Amino acid sequence: MGDVTIRPATPDDAAGICTIYNQGIEDRIATLETELRTPEERRQWLAARGPRHPVVVATTDGQVVGWGSLNAFNPRPAYDNVVDLSVYVERAWRGRGVGKALLQHVLGLARQLGYHKMVLATFPYNEPGLAFYRRMGFSPVGVYREQGKLDGRWVDVLIMEQLL
């Protein structure tokens, strides 16, 4: 993996976060989002986050090579102890341990913040991602059939969870 540091994201990281998120959108392996983001939009997204929903970045030599976030699962108070996960890694850094380091870090943050469960959504055809999440302790709990359209075709979304 090299010398990678994980730290809280700052507004200066918005461009790097944006680039990596847009790669995930373009690659069609990580999100149902289809519209590319801008650094300014990502800066606003960062500014709107509260203390229970942190964003962290993985950096090397000052470059953002991955990011992760804890996201609100549902606005209803009954779900206050459930958190949604996002982890994105720059294309050239995938498979090099950055995702694992980010996920371990955000799992620790989730426990510190008192969450009971972490959930994530992924595509059933994202085999490397599924294997990674299973190795990290996540279990599949269901599939949303034809949850969204990407490039004119319906895609399923697999839901996974981990009790903390």
Structural domain spans, the chain: 5-119
The CATH class of the 5-119 domain is: alpha beta
Classify 126 as helix, strand or coil. coil
Candidates 156, 67, 78; CA nearest to 117 is 78
**Residue 56's beta-bridge partner residues?**
8, 68
Whole-model pTM: value is 0.94
* C-beta of residue 109 within 8 angstroms of C-beta of residue 91: no
Q: What is the DSSP string of 27-69?
A: HTSS-S--SPP-HHHHHHHHHT--TTS-EEEEEETTEEEEEEE
Candidates 26, 48, 29, 37; CA nearest to 9 is 48
* C-beta of residue 61 within 8 angstroms of C-beta of residue 5: no
**Residue 140's beta-bridge partner residues?**
160
Backbone angles phi, psi at 13, to 5 degrees: -90, -5
Q: Please tell me the predicted confidence (pLDDT) of residue 1.
A: 60
Q: Please tell me the predicted confidence (pLDDT) of residue 92.
A: 94
Candidates 31, 42, 2; CA nearest to 129 is 31
Q: Please tell me the predicted confidence (pLDDT) of residue 86.
A: 97
123 Cβ contact partners less than 8 Å away, ≥ 6 residues apart: 29, 30, 129, 155, 156, 157, 158
Cα 64 from Cα 50, distance rounded (Å): 21
Q: Please tell me the predicted confidence (pLDDT) of residue 30.
A: 84
pLDDT along the chain (164 residues), means of 10: 90 98 92 95 97 97 96 96 97 94 97 98 93 96 96 96 98
